[in-house]
Chain A
Amino acid sequence: MDLEREGGRGANQLRPLDCSRNVLNRAHGSGSCSHGETRVLAAVYGPKAGTKKNENPEKACLEVIWKPKIGQIGKADKEFEMILKRTLQNICLLTAHPNTTTSIIIQVVHDDGSLLPCAIHAACTALVDAGIPLKYLAVAICCCLVENGRIILDPNKMEEQRMKALVHLVFPSPVQSVLPEGSKEDGIITSLSHGVMTVDDYFQCVKHGRAAVAPLSNILTKKLQSQSPSNQSVAG
């Protein structure tokens, strides 16, 4: 039962992932990430003084602004903002800069499926570029359930529209720890599902997604490391 995917990809094959840091000049940190044709740009400003009104001043506050490609911000975009904020709150070291606000601005350049994972990777890249202290990187994957029960990873727009159900999963990137014990941060940071699926299918998706974490996080760390930090002064 061989599934025919566009571009000849297998069910477990991801699109080429590309990440680059320091793409903008004014922002304190910036990153761009592309999963195949999907491209997202992220910029970070911060930490700035003061927190928002109802936020805890003993911790740093994160603010996410999602900019869609066309038109004003809508309900779906506000949901993405909320998801990104909670996800990034988990990976940032919030106690390092108490009573500050860090703004993360996400701009969608092109959406060809798997938009949320791409945005999370772009946000992580921008945070790394800005020097915000993080506990670990986040690795996100989109698992899709098609009609015949097969699970495919990293769908493009056409596949997303035809799917039966969809799950976005975010895992912590495995940290090389000095301690001999495995890190206990092994759980799912975020899980967002659309459509109807059985419980077994869901756990299958989680299993497939977790299998993709190691290669994805290797690619991400390699891309972030290979770009040497540039020592440029702001004055021209």
Chain B
Amino acid sequence: MTLNEKKFIETALLSDLRIDGRGPFDYRNVAIKFGREDGSSEVQLGQTHVMGFVTSQLVQPYRDRPNEGTLSIYTEFSTMADPSFEIGRPGVFAVELGRIVDRGLRESRAVDTESLCVVAGKWVWSIRIDLHILDNGGNLVDAANIAALVALLTFRRPECTLGGDNDQEVIIHSPEVREPLPLIVHHFPVAITFAFIGSESTVVIDPSNFEEAVMGGKLTATLNTNGDVCAIQKAGGDGVVQSVIMQCLRIASVKAADITNKIKKAVESYNTERALRKIKRHPDPVVDVSKGAGMGVRSLSIEMEKTRLEIEDRKVNRSDDREIETHSSKKTGSSRDPYSKGINGDELKASLASRAAATSVEKMDVLPSVKTQFTMIDKTPTEMDSTPSLQQTIEAGEQTIKVKTLMDAVKPKHRRKKKTYPNHDLS
């Protein structure tokens, strides 16, 4: 860093200006993305890019803690993040980062290690977090902490039971056999970093890499929304007045609440998307129209009933502002998602039209005798009214079956709803 650049940054800060246009206490935008598997996260904090992966393994516990699982953090300062990072053994900064994240997560008892015990003294789960720093845009600690937290929250460990003779053998169930379980996380420790720049020790939050090259000292505070301070790290550097430190902690608690909200939202949307994916994998046999003629008619009328219930439900849920791909839930008609936002009327009409057209075509194959009724409806497919008219024709045809189908339509849905949302413990 040239002297000119240093002077420029310091002088600009005297007028409360930072070189990327932020104010001294403005945090950069946090973008949280997930990978394909459970327990993989990608966090972008401005130009800083960090990836986290969580894996688990059954190991023997430590001698002095026979009924607790272990949590270990491995930090990789990849050479791609910064030309000054070198391959080989992790340098001082990598170790320091790993220790700060570790203290925030493990020593504050954020992750419940006692629930990771399988057989006391013999088998416990060992959770391993790998953090890869891909791009150094400054403030790696905060980004790495968020990545580790998010990966832990979306990780699912396989379920295992005791079996064999003596009940001493541990059988690990594959995810297809038994649903894997999430980890128990009590609170979310979020790290916020401040930098002290210049002779007057101007404080800035979330330093970028240029500010980090110029700063005289750094303070990282790990807080959670309960008001607890999980860890504070100020390793040397310029001396700072006590009142400044208190001010930093106050600001940090506000920012921590912000970031915790973002994390919660991101994890919830991931969980609902994951649940939707599970529903798509196991299509409901009732809605499957291709299964023979007799079943066909009954299931079609069920589908029509469900469509009607769905429309009503969606009108009620219009106030929700959660975005879900609604076309996926329309495909398997019975997968009602309580978080679906209200669809705009045109989309619904178009989809119902396509479905009505599709089902009417199928009906023509199944019931050739009532062909004449449906040709009329084919010509006017774009109204929502087509569904009640189709229903009326079905009603005329099979009155008794209609009564049965309403009950069948309602009951399995409720059962399924309870099954697919078992573990939502994000308080």
Contacts and interface: CB of A to CB of B under 8 A. Distances in A.
B136 interface: yes
Contacts of B47: 25-26
A70 interface: yes
A70 B60 CA distance: 21
A26 B78 contact: no
A27 B80 contact: yes
A67 B40 CA distance: 16
A137 B287 CA distance: 49
Interface residues of B, number: 31
Interface stretch (A3-11, A49-57, A102-110, A139-147): A102-110
Nearest to B76: A67
A65 interface: yes
A41 interface: yes
Interface string B56-84: 00000000000000000010101111110
B52 to A, nearest CB: 11
B135 A25 contact: yes
B78 A70 contact: no
A195 interface: no
A24 B49 contact: yes
A26 B82 contact: yes
A16 interface: no
A179 interface: no
Contact of B79 (A65, A110, A112, A235): A65
Interface residues of A, number: 23
Given A236-B208, A236-B210, A24 B80 contact: yes
Nearest to B84: A26
Contacts of A43: 79-80, 134
Interface in B89-137: 128, 130, 132, 134-137
Contacts of B82: 26
Contacts of B53: 69-70
B55 interface: yes
Contacts of A25: 47, 49, 135, 137
Interface of B: 19-21, 35-37, 40, 47, 49, 51, 53, 55, 74, 76, 78-83, 87, 128, 130, 132, 134-137, 208-210
Interface of A: 24-27, 30, 37, 39, 41, 43, 45, 65, 67, 69-71, 103, 105, 107, 109-110, 112, 235-236
Given A39-B35, A43-B79, A107-B80, 19 more contacts: A24-B49, A25-B135, A26-B47, A27-B80, A41-B134, A45-B83, A65-B79, A65-B87, A67-B76, A69-B53, A70-B130, A71-B74, A71-B130, A107-B51, A107-B78, A109-B51, A110-B40, A236-B21, A236-B208
10 contacts: A25-B47, A26-B209, A67-B76, A70-B55, A70-B130, A107-B80, A110-B35, A110-B40, A236-B21, A236-B210
